[in-house]
Structure 1
Amino acid sequence: MIHPAKSIRTFIGSKNFHESTKFYETLGFVVKPLSKGFSLVTVKENICFYLQDYYSKVWCENSMLFLEVENLDSYWEAMKVLGLPDKFKGVKLSEIKNEDWGREFFLHDPAGVLWHFGVFK
């Protein structure tokens, strides 16, 4: 059966909800509170996820999201200029890596959630 889906949204945790909210706002994402300790974070129309005030080290440090972007070099440069590792404890930004399938770089958020930003060949 084919379902007429409109979007898919994952849930991610936060070690410090306020800090994670500021982190995602600094990235340029729109954070809309839905209830206490629970927000909808919008990257772009229909590209969203839920941020919650819940932390489990094992869960957060094993959560990964992949965001496909149009121009990886420009996206990485814009990300680098933000100075996220200097502004948020635990945040790490990698260099761009070339893979057989395409290119990507990594960003760990303040709770340890691993973001992959990439382009496919």
Structure 2
Amino acid sequence: MPMPAATDLRAFIPARDFALSKAFHAALGWDVRDVGPGIALVTVGAAQHFYIQDYYLREVAENSMLHLTVDDAQAWYAHMRSVLAEGRFPGARVQPPVAQPYGATVTFVHDPSGVLLHFCEWGSPHRAAP
């Protein structure tokens, strides 16, 4: 029997404050739209997606991670600093880009619920954060 095709994979991430989480991801420049009660679809770029759910369990949130491949981890760091400088997203934070032993430069971002976002630039030399 042939293997059935799979065409998309979408994670669900928890939100301590659903409205705040949607606003945070929209502030990153992503499209965020409600698709059902307590569920919002986030579209990143042309074809990457994940869901924010109006559900929160600390242990789940603080152990959830999303990995995003980006062209410039330093630029995402600068963008995140400007978004967070507004003070609208309590609990959210960003770490300067760090060269990882597996060959990527990564900017780590914690969203307002504690979900960890990895902005990963592959195969580039490490650039020091300002």
- TM-score scaled by length of structure 1: 0.91
1:7 is matched with 8
2:112 is matched with 110
Rounded to whole Å, the distance in 1 between the matches of 2:117 and 2:94 is: 10
Are residues 2 and 61 of structure 1, via their aligned partners in 2, closer, same or farther at CA, if it must alter by over 3 Å?
A: same
Are residues 98 and 85 of structure 1, via their aligned partners in 2, closer, same or farther at CA, if it must alter by over 3 Å?
A: farther
Q: CA deviation at 1:79?
A: 2.0
Aligned length: 121
Q: CA deviation at 1:37?
A: 1.0
Give the percent of matched residue pairs that are identical in Structure 1 and Structure 2: 33
Superposed, which structure 2 residues align to 1:1-80 within 5 Å?
A: 2-80=3-81
- RMSD of aligned Cα (Å): 1.6
Residue by residue over 1:78-106, the C-alpha shift from the partner in whole angstroms, topping out at 9 and shown as x without a partner, is: 22222258221111110111112211011
Secondary structure of the 1:45 match is coil
Rounded to whole Å, the distance in 1 between the matches of 2:19 and 2:34 is: 11
* 5+ long unaligned stretches in structure 2: 124-130
